[in-house]
Amino acid sequence: MSSVLSVLVVSVTAFVVAPTIGTRAVAHAAVSPIPAPSGQYKVGVHVARFVDAGRADPWRPGRRELPVTITYPAGDVGRHVRAPYVTADAAAVAKRGGLDVTRLVGARTNGYLDAPVARNAKSLPVVIFSPGFLTPRFVYTALTEDLASRGHVVVAVDHTGDAAATVFPDGRVVGMSVTDSYSESTQRTSVATRVADIRYLFGQARRWSAGQVIDADRRALPTGLGQAVDPAKLGVFGHSMGGAVAAEVSRIDSRTGAAVNVDGALRVGTPAAPIVKHPSARPVLHLASSLHADSAEARAKWWLPYLANSRVRGGWSKVYRVADTGHATFTDLAAATPQSVPDIPFLAIPGGLSLGTAPRGVAIATQRALLGDLFDRFLKGRTLPRLDNPKAYPLVSELR
């Protein structure tokens, strides 16, 4: 794996993480709260562990083991504590993998541990979230919490073995098993494994409403969650490699009601991803930063062919460019870093791991609105015509 030493020394209050492959950074804040969710509900948090007994793990010995954080609309939170953003053990392991969030130990999220589901929350869609390659699931708390506050159950998964730190409910933390992250074979294995992970979790979500035990350790779901979910309403989204994987799942799994690819390149290793030639029959929204939307190579290799084939295929598919954003804008880094902090040098990918110049608060609100509107429309059946009009969202234009 390529190693990049990225040291950012800033005198302002901020924390700095490396949301994708193998970078090192210095954290600068004890507490960096995630912005409050915008939806009508408070947020509950439940952690669980799944073991796919029918599948071997490609990175480590044994069966495929997956920890998840389930975020959902909560009711009475009075007797429940707010969930930690990251534990000391997880931060220590993540630091060894190139992600330094040690100054965030002690910070809290907006979600309440194991709070009961909101009483008026019924027929809730279940949306699986896949992080960027080598990135822990907690780095996307601002997006997952907000979607839950709008009435969705969000299942964020750590793809064990290809994250800087994989955090399990009992406190156990597993580091990276990937050693050659830029090889063609590793990229292909990771994509295939992630696709299988998400499809497995689709199946687990369908068991909830039947009242079946979902957790390998027999942990019970929070009160009311099993009765509140609708297993027929399944969605998926992800960032970076996770976004490309979400798009691929929508292409091959008919259980997918809708998908969002957040700044993921439509390729597997070097070649274009299958979805470029064979678009999904399900609704798919692609959100592209300047890094991917403005790249002549990306336009030629995947965006323009994908759009042409999508028009032939029919159905709903959009590619929205979010102006003046970088690849890191779609992580919690944007929420917790002041506008005055310069972009982070990141030499392992073209264009750098950038926060962009867009106002951070506006960029975060736009991401949240687009995700919520997409899943509200296609999983809940709400009429949201503004989703077809990119001008309805700050910073957004459409690639054609």
Q: What is the CATH number of the domain that holds 360?
A: 3.40.50.1820
Stated pTM of the model? 0.90
Q: What is the pLDDT of residue 348?
A: 41
Does some domain include residue 8?
A: no
Domain count, the chain: 1
Does some domain include residue 226?
A: yes
Q: What is the pLDDT of residue 342?
A: 59
Does some domain include residue 232?
A: yes
Q: Is the Cβ–Cβ distance between 317 and 283 less than 8 Å? A: yes
Does some domain include residue 229?
A: yes
User: CA–CA separation, 272 vs 284, rounded Å?
Assistant: 17
Q: What is the pLDDT of residue 344?
A: 59
H runs (alpha helix) in the chain: 88-96, 141-149, 184-208, 225-228, 241-252, 274-277, 290-293, 296-298, 304-313, 332-336, 360-380
| Burial tier of 383 (Cβ tally within 10 Å: 0-12, 13-18, 19+) | exposed
pLDDT tens, position by position, 278-313: 999 999 999 999 888 998 989 999 999 999 999 999
User: CA–CA separation, 37 vs 39, rounded Å?
Assistant: 6
Q: What is the pLDDT of residue 180?
A: 73
Q: What is the pLDDT of residue 4?
A: 22
Q: What is the pLDDT of residue 15?
A: 33
User: CA–CA separation, 19 vs 352, rounded Å?
Assistant: 12
Does some domain include residue 6?
A: no
Pick out the chain residues at pLDDT < 50. 1-32, 346-352
Q: What is the pLDDT of residue 30?
A: 36
Residue type, 263: D
Does some domain include residue 29?
A: no
Does some domain include residue 256?
A: yes
Does some domain include residue 21?
A: no
Name the residue range of residue 181's domain.
43-398
Residue 185's contacts (CB-CB under 8 Å, 6 or more residues apart) are none
